[in-house]
Amino acid sequence: MRDVKAEIRAALEDALKKLGVEPPGQIPVELAPKDKPGDYGTPLPFQLARVLRKPPPEIARALAEALEPPPGVREAIPVGGFLNFAYDPGYLAAAASTPPEPFPKKPGKIAVEHTSVNPNKELHIGHLRNVALGDAVARILAYAGYEVEVENYIDDTGRQAAESLFAIERYREAPKEGEKYDHYAGRLYVRLHAELAEEGKR
């Protein structure tokens, strides 16, 4: 992964060497203020002002002329005594749309089970959340080099399914007009359990 700040620092160090100036240790590079041009900036000209006995704006202009911008940097912009750097939007768009190489394969297999809804009840927004999270986790692990097996277990057997079928047979009630089948089955399932709970109190 690219270190943008490190690349800008390296370009500044090269520019200083061209100007015959010794780099002053670690060169600070930070995000530029939102109300100023550019994406990153450095106060390096202020650091050099006392040593070079020149005003920071003049040093910023000299650095901008001597600097060879790193890949993706469109230009170096003197802003008062600061030197800012503007990235090329086209370069960033191309970099973002280029799929990175996946990590080397890792041993073992990881099983990711997600969603696994209850077929006796209606789906809701929480299930959609689980789909998104589970799929994202599986894709991230696969990209990281793991062999991933995704499991989405729809339990249409066992006690819950039997109780749902029993409720439909017991009440012999047709779905309401426009009622989805999962809503219909879930409603009768809940009704059955409400009656069982009531009988248990007697």
pLDDT at residue 159, rounded to an integer: 82
Domain map of the chain by residue range? 4-93, 109-151, 159-201
Q: How far apart are CA 14 and CA 16, in angstroms?
A: 5
Which one is the CATH code of 4-93: 3.30.420.130, 3.30.1360.70, 3.40.50.970, 3.30.1520.10? 3.30.1360.70
Q: Per-residue confidence at 202, pLDDT binned at 50, 70, 90?
A: low
pLDDT in tens, 23-37: 888 899 999 998 899
Q: How far apart are CA 32 and CA 37, in angstroms?
A: 8
Beta bridge partners of 77: 84
DSSP 77: E
**Exposed e or buried b per residue across 97-123, where buried means at least 16 C-beta atoms within 10 angstroms of its C-beta:** eeeeeeeeeeeeeeebebbebbebbeb
Cβ contact 40:4 at 8 Å: yes
Q: Burial of 63 by CB count in 10 Å (0-12 exposed, 13-18 middle, 19+ buried)?
A: buried
pLDDT in tens, 151-191: 988 766 678 888 888 999 999 999 999 998 888 988 998 99
Question: What pTM was computed for the model?
Answer: 0.50
